[in-house]
Amino acid sequence: MANPIEQFKIKPIIPLEIGGVDVSFTNSAVMMVISVVLITAFLTLSVRSRALVPGRWQSMAEVFYEFIAGMLRDNVGSAGRKYFPFIFSLFMFVMFGNLLGMVPGAFTYTSHVIVTFGMAIVVFTGVTIIGFARHGTHFLRMFFPEGAPIATAVILVPIELISYFSRPFSLAVRLFANMTVGHIILKVLGGFVVTLGGFYVLPGIVPFAFLGAVTVLEFGIALLQAYVFTILSCIYLHDAIHMH
């Protein structure tokens, strides 16, 4: 049976080194470029006609648009409207990365914690800057809730600080762990199907049935994790804009 971890190996496509630092164009970078190209093509072609009665592709684009717009409106309010392009781009990039990773032989860049942490730290840094830009030093009140007794500061402030600075880690690990575990399970079950089916046809049916069910579940998880990553980003944005 093939090593289920092998699918996560970063492989250089175009080896490149600058100043002793490896900056090779890898299989992960290839999938990111493909994802961006597909997203751009999908959105550009789907709204090109701008028909009053939308066609199939335009309807799909409008569904995504309304979905993210509604998410921002419900979680951030009207003040979050200006951040729609970023939140929408974030959702599409994560979703396409998750779904493209389901293609046999493709590389899932969202299964690498360095990628998910990179996105998470951008969100974390962005909302922190927004918080200080809107509220100044009053943003530090995030770490000590309004109306709380001053005597509780020694307990509440450390708890709030730990909670706040753990956000990018939890955001990154959640997406990375779900995508990694799901792909490992698919690889293991696929190995069982090949191994058992190679000698006996009937014993291979059971793992094949499980493989089909897990594949459907994994598609659902791919969409769900894109939603979770995005809605948590909206919640963090809400905290930066509206405080507690």
Higher per-residue pLDDT: 173 or 187:
173
Which parts of the chain fold into alpha helices (H)?
Answer: 27-46, 56-75, 84-100, 113-135, 153-165, 167-199, 205-242
Report residue 244's pLDDT band, with 50, 70 and 90 as the boundaries: low
Percent of the chain at pLDDT > 70 equals 91
Determine which helix (DSSP H) or strand (DSSP E) holds 49, and give its type and residue range: none
Q: How far apart are alpha carbons 15 and 75 in whole angstroms?
A: 44
Let me know if 139 is exposed, middle or buried by CB neighbors in 10 A (0-12, 13-18, 19+): middle
| Residue 44: count of CB within 10 angstroms of its CB | 10
For the stretch 104-154, pLDDT in tens is: 888 999 999 999 999 999 999 999 999 999 999 888 888 887 778 888 888
Q: CB under 8 Å, gap of 24 or more: what pairs does 192-199 form? A: 192/1, 194/1, 195/1
The DSSP result for 126-145, as a single string, is HHHHHHHHHHGGGGGGGGS-
What mean pLDDT comes out for the span 65-69?
94
Let me know if 98 is exposed, middle or buried by CB neighbors in 10 A (0-12, 13-18, 19+): buried
What mean pLDDT comes out for the span 42-66?
83
Q: Are 23 and 16 in contact (CB under 8 A)?
A: yes
| Residue 119: count of CB within 10 angstroms of its CB | 20
Q: Domain locations in the chain?
A: 4-239
Higher per-residue pLDDT: 118 or 211:
118
Q: How far apart are alpha carbons 229 and 123 in whole angstroms?
A: 10
Q: For residue 199, is pLDDT > 60?
A: no
What mean pLDDT comes out for the span 86-108?
92
Q: How far apart are alpha carbons 88 and 96 in whole angstroms?
A: 12
Q: Are 144 and 156 in contact (CB under 8 A)?
A: yes
**By three-state DSSP, how is residue 26 classified?**
strand
Sign of CA dihedral 183, 112, 170, 36: negative
Q: How far apart are alpha carbons 216 and 225 in whole angstroms?
A: 14
Q: What is the pLDDT of residue 176?
A: 93
Nearest to 69 by CA among 81, 56, 54, 59: 81
**By three-state DSSP, how is residue 53 classified?**
coil
Q: How far apart are alpha carbons 190 and 211 in whole angstroms?
A: 7
